[in-house]
Amino acid sequence: MDIATIIGILLAFGALFGMAQMEHVEMAGLFLPAPMLLVFVATIGCGVASTTMKDALAAFKAVPKAFTGKVTPPQTVIDDVVGLAETARANGLLALEQEADKHDDPFMKKALQNIADGTDGDELRILLEDEIESNAAPMRSASAFFMGLGGFAPTVGIIGTVVSLTHVLANLGKPDELGPLIASAFVATLWGLLTANFLWLPFGGKLRKLAQLEADRQTLLMEGLLAVQAGSQPRLLGERLTAMVPPSARGTTGKATKGATAGVDDQQLAA
């Protein structure tokens, strides 16, 4: 579980609460049902109107992933691919069909099955690239939906403020009531800005990041498996895949890479 989203949202709301306490703002005055109803319902309504119902429902179903989504570290992918390269080198590409049954990742299973079936390398690359793009599409669509909500919310809040101000103007003859009425009028703007920047935009940004990380993982896996199909030497394959990963995301050398290096050294000594 990646707690970055939880920590970020808690920090944002905590800072708001802290400011309210320092400014001696009555919190009850910020939680007014009418402006909150307008901002939440109208914003979501505008978002649904801007897309299809299927995509809107899928976007809300993707919200838990913003809190729990975690992508496999690149080093784990590299270690798995190097291990597969050792298996293919020792037992041939047909042995990868049995390896496919050991993995739960549908993308890897499809790639290994096609390699074992003797699919042409160029055709397999096209197939896997299309698979990567189609796998990322739902998460990107969900991200775009919440980014759209982040754009609608502030404007909806302003609409709520304008509506409330018409009520204020209708009561200009009651000076004692103008202060509370004006204060409550701006609550809609507050919630519009707050929900956009504390909820919708963070959700959209996190889902977009998760989609990119998963696409990067599958791309790394694709390059590795295509190299396995081409008969790449395990140790060099591990080094090549490591070079594809940004330095900050590289982990320590895994067991598979170490085993591959040892295996090559033994072959050289035997020769």
- For residue 252, the model assigns a pLDDT of 56
**What number is the average pLDDT over the span 141-157?**
97
Task: Please report which confidence band the pLDDT of residue 3 belongs to, taking 50, 70 and 90 as the band edges.
Answer: confident
Q: What is the dihedral of CA 158, 38, 146, 249, to 10 degrees?
A: 80
- Tell me the pTM: 0.84
| Whether the predicted pLDDT of 254 surpasses 70 | no
Closest CA to 38 of 146, 187, 183, 209: 187
Cα(184)–Cα(198) distance, integer angstroms: 21
Terminal-residue alpha carbon distance, the chain: 48
Q: What SS3 class is residue 129?
A: helix
Exposure on the CB side of residue 183, measured as CA atoms within 13 A:
13
Tens of pLDDT along 223-238?
Answer: 999 999 999 999 999 9
- Residue type for position 192: G
Residues contacting residue 212 through CB under 8 Å, at least 6 positions apart: 136
Tens of pLDDT along 171-223?
Answer: 766 766 676 778 788 899 999 999 999 999 999 999 999 999 999 999 999 99
Tens of pLDDT along 32-64?
Answer: 898 999 999 999 999 999 999 999 999 999 999
Within 10 angstroms of residue 22's Cβ, the number of other Cβ atoms is 8
| Whether the predicted pLDDT of 261 surpasses 70 | no
